[in-house]
Copies of this chain bind each other. A is one copy, B any other.
Amino acid sequence: MRPDDRHPRRPPPADVTVLALDIGGTKLAAGVVTGDGRVLSREVIPSHANEGPWSMIDRLVDLGRRMIDESGVSPSRIAGTGIACGGPLDPETGIILSPPNLPGWDRIPLVDAVTERLGLPAAVENDATAGALAEWWFGAGRSHGVNDLVYLTISTGIGGGLVLDGRLYRGVAGNAGELGHLTVVYDGRPCGCGRRGCLEAYASGTNIARRAREAIAAGEASTLAERPAITSKDVAEQALAGDPLAGRIWDETMAMLGSGVANILDVFNPALVVLGGGVTRSGDQLLVPVREAGLRQAMEPARRSGEVVLTELGPIHDVMSAAVVAFDRLPMPAALEETPA
């Protein structure tokens, strides 16, 4: 199904129901979601990404079937399947190209595979692009009543999605919004994308933890050295607890995210920058310094008209992002009744 040029400004009527599948390198999520954003069922399982794409797809489809059962909705009332997946991918053909966090996935025809297994129409979107739409319709975008929103997800990697002038913006190959690859340090740390100095190379969860491990390996003292496997959550916690190394790495990370947010404000002049992804579970410990640095550094009109907030969708962000892909891209039966005269 080809993405339409025009995107509806509102989600479909409340009584539409879709299956939502989210594919990440760490976890798979499935759920049933209604047109007014109620999650009727949801479950998360480990990805076991080392098993490769076909085993993951089979387990996710099985989980999807169970979630339909658990929702109590008749399978004949499920209008379709929305899928959110790490990019790069082609939303038009439904083919996953070769996401860095999904080893072994290389030109996998995901939409065809899911459609065939479930007997339902399906559509896929980059998870950060879908996340922007979910925030717009059901999260921070709705509560702030805005039509221009940039979603920045800070997780294993860093991604972005763009709602501009009341429309989801994908770019000509469906790959716009790669905000993790904004440069912050010229010729800096190598990034998974092949370049150097990208925001992701410093501020993703993976790289926050890696920077701490590197500093410890280089001989710096830290309470983190006692942990068996350092995560970005450990760095955040030990920074709060007063560990100097964790504090320095956290502060540097916040400064770089703040610089990235200032870039986003100057480039898009959005009403809202929404921060989501696992690293933002640190809450105000992340939001307060990033918001302050981002707004302070942005140019005056962008600073005056923009706001920086945390995601309002919380843990259900995964299935909400996947569900809006179906709402946005598939024919919704009840929506057809609402075609304007």
Contact = CB atoms under 8 A, between A and B. Distances in A.
Interface string A156-180: 0000100011110111111111110
Contact of A182 (B172, B256, B267, B269): B267
A188 interface: yes
Interface string A292-333: 000001011110111000000000000000000000000000
B267 A175 contact: no
Given A183-B184, A184-B183, A271-B172, A266 B299 contact: no
Q: Mostly helix, strand, loop or mixed at chain A's interface?
A: loop
Contact of A268 (B171, B186, B256): B171
Given A173-B269, A269-B176, A263 B148 contact: no
A254 B259 CA distance: 23
A341 to B, nearest CB: 17
A269 B301 CA distance: 25
Given A88-B300, A172-B306, A175-B302, A186 B259 contact: yes
A270 interface: yes
B173 A267 contact: no
A288 interface: no
A165 B167 contact: yes
A133 to B, nearest CB: 15
B167 A301 contact: no
A337 interface: no
A5 interface: yes
Interface in A27-45: none
A242 interface: no
Interface residues of A, number: 53
Given A186-B259, A267-B179, A172 B305 contact: yes
A193 interface: yes
Contacts of A176: 267-269
Contacts of A194: 297
A68 to B, nearest CB: 33
A182 to B, nearest CB: 5
Contacts of A300: 88, 97
A183 B197 CA distance: 11
Most buried by B among A169, A172, A194: A172
A175 B299 contact: yes
A90 B169 CA distance: 24
A181 B182 CA distance: 12
Contacts of A167: 165
B166 A266 contact: no
A185 interface: yes
A146 to B, nearest CB: 8
Which 7 pairs, one residue from A and one from B, show the smallest C-beta to C-beta distance? A171-B269, A175-B301, A173-B305, A176-B269, A178-B266, A173-B301, A185-B186
Interface string A97-126: 100000000000000000000000000000
Contacts of A166: 5
